[in-house]
Chain A
Amino acid sequence: MNPTLRTALRGATLPALVLGAWWAVFHFGWTDTKLFVPPSEVWDTAVRLTANGYLWTSLQASLGRFLAGFVIGAVTGTAVGTALGLSRLFEKVVAPSLHTVKQVSLLAWIPLISVWFGLGDPAKIAFLSLAAFFPVALNTFEGIRSVPRELIEVARVFAFSRTQLLRRVVLPAALPSIFTGIYLGLLYAWLATLGAEYLLTSGSGIGNLLTDGREHFWMDQVLLGVVIVGLVGFVINLVATRLEARSLAWRGKSTAQF
């Protein structure tokens, strides 16, 4: 057998077994639990909630605040990270405080934010930007700080202006690290979207879909929610990787010249 096919088949064994067992338990009536539902019911719920638009509204609300929060957090994060990387003084004055504040577990901010910003979208977006801010800021800082000294020296030899130095040397060299930060920022922001929707329970969203399902003991809806959370995470992952590969495509060329 073709080795890739064999690997794929082996990988699919366990999920297939679980799915089969799940289906069999209900098909042969081995249980009369009200808690669990057969796979077919999860599918029916997915179809029903898509048809009446509930799923779509929730997804839209979640993704909307996810993007808004991420953009705010990533932009401030890049700005602060760049300032930290370019100015030693700024770094020494601000970085220790930043590292201290970072230690607080992310979700512990939510109760405070809810007092300051209320329970609606402003609070959620503020929290999401906080979640995205730290990884972006710290990785931008790291990236700029670890630009090889030789590159800067070469740029000095060519008498680059400060703008040229930043645009042609520092930014490209720091880009991979900045992307790591953006990638982490996306993941944290998605995690924070869920946390914010659990704890600030107003409005709609995927988190609310899950909480609603749990409160009403609708297992089908909860399972559907879990699948959607996974799928959105997967798509975010995919987009981030693609984006990174595309903007760093020039790297492949430049190393080929050596």
Chain B
Amino acid sequence: MAPLVSAATLPSPPVAPVVPDTKVPSPWRRRGVDLLLSWPFPLSVLLLWQLGAQFEWIPAQILPAPLVVAQTFADLWATGELQDHLLISLGRVLYGFSLGTGLGLLLGVSMGLSPLVKDYLYPTFRLFAQVPSLGWLPLLMMVVGIDEALKIILISKAAFVPVTMNTYNGLRNVPTSLIEVSKVFRFTRWQLLRKVVFPAAFPTLWNGIRYGLTHAWLALVAVELLASSEGLGYLIVYGRQLFQLDVVLTAVVVVGAVGFTLDKVLAVIESRLLRWRRDAF
């Protein structure tokens, strides 16, 4: 194992004569160089920002120094305040997202498999999806108030639309040739669905779920900014009202980090679930 790794990190003489261009660096080395190249830009921005605050080129009220933000982050974390808001936000997103995804899968699958259901429901669904979540928000606030129900409904709507859309499209676009082959093999309907239709539709369907989670997170931040007394969005509003921009920036960073992590988790699950695809080729 060890010699393999070290050989890969060396500039390496041409091992395989098939590769004519020996100047192409090994993937490990290239990745290292890429990593090195990606740091100077954000670091210099941060440095400039820190210096700007230090020499008071920019007033702290408009843009607090990065070190101040880091300190605020540490403080909020130490008191447990940040975790509380984070957990509340995460709980809402998971609840709403699961609800929306469940309903979306249900509607998407039934429209994808039954043309009759599709005929009756698809136009109404399109009408409903035409108005973005933010457009529904004021109406929902009047009907259900600004309690927890509002947040869950809005978040599940945000996840519901892309999940339904992609599930339906994924099922509809299964190549006809695949269906024909399974007819030749005299698959039963259940076999057809389980072995052919769902695996073929899965990538599109999963994309819908990923969009759904991204949209759910977007909707959560929106609803917490507008109508909430806890959660990360509220922390942003609260910091803004008190003109504590360090709190605002801390919350914004956490919002970004959580959004990134949620998407990464789904990407990892996807590559696990799609392992069979690599075997096929």
Contacts and interface: CB of A to CB of B under 8 A. Distances in A.
Interface of A: 6-7, 10-15, 35, 89, 92-97, 100-101, 103-112, 114-116, 190-191, 194-195, 198-199, 210-211, 213-214, 217, 219, 222-223, 225-226, 229-230, 233-234
B245 interface: yes
13 contacts: A11-B124, A35-B143, A92-B34, A97-B38, A97-B41, A103-B259, A108-B236, A108-B252, A195-B222, A214-B138, A226-B139, A230-B127, A233-B132
A234 to B, nearest CB: 6
Interface string B106-150: 000000000010011111100100111011111101110000000
Given A14-B120, A103-B259, A105-B218, A219 B142 contact: yes
B197 interface: no
B251 interface: yes
A112 to B, nearest CB: 6
A96 B121 contact: no
A194 B243 CA distance: 24
A6 B45 CA distance: 61
Count class of interface residues, chain B = 35 or more
Contacts of A15: 123-124, 127
Nearest to A101: B256
Contacts of A106: 218
A190 B134 CA distance: 10
In this complex, the member of A97, A107, A199 whose beta carbon has the largest number of chain B beta carbons within 10 angstroms is A107
A234 B135 CA distance: 13
Nearest to A3: B119
A113 B67 CA distance: 21
Q: Which 9 A-B pairs have the closest CB atoms?
A: A11-B123, A229-B135, A104-B256, A96-B38, A111-B240, A10-B119, A92-B37, A105-B221, A230-B131
A108 B221 contact: yes
Determine the main DSSP class of B at the interface with A: helix
Contacts of B257: 103
A103 B220 CA distance: 14
B131 A233 contact: yes
A217 B139 CA distance: 10
A38 to B, nearest CB: 16
Nearest to A195: B134
B226 interface: yes
B124 A14 contact: yes
Contacts of A108: 221, 225, 233, 236, 251-252, 255-256
Contacts of A104: 252-253, 255-256, 259
A110 B225 contact: yes
Interface of B: 34, 37-38, 40-42, 45, 61-63, 116, 119-124, 127, 130-132, 134-139, 141-143, 217-218, 220-222, 225-226, 233, 236-237, 239-240, 243, 245, 248-249, 251-253, 255-257, 259-260, 263
B256 A100 contact: yes
Nearest to A93: B41
A114 B233 CA distance: 15
In this complex, the member of A7, A101, A106, A116 whose beta carbon has the largest number of chain B beta carbons within 10 angstroms is A7
Given A89-B37, A111-B236, A222-B138, 6 more contacts: A11-B124, A103-B259, A105-B256, A107-B218, A108-B225, A214-B141
Given A94-B41, A105-B217, A112-B249, A217 B138 contact: no
Nearest to B34: A92
A35 B141 CA distance: 12
B133 to A, nearest CB: 8
Contacts of B226: 198-199
A103 B253 CA distance: 9
Nearest to B243: A115
Contact of A103 (B233, B251, B260): B260
A226 B142 contact: no
Contacts of A7: 119
In this complex, the member of A35, A103, A112, A230 whose beta carbon has the largest number of chain B beta carbons within 10 angstroms is A103
Nearest to A106: B218
Nearest to B237: A111
Contact of A111 (B62, B121, B248): B248
Contacts of B141: 214
A194 B142 contact: no
Given A13-B120, A112-B248, A199-B225, A223 B139 contact: yes
Contacts of B42: 96-97, 100
Nearest to A215: B138
Given A108-B252, A111-B248, A217 B142 contact: yes
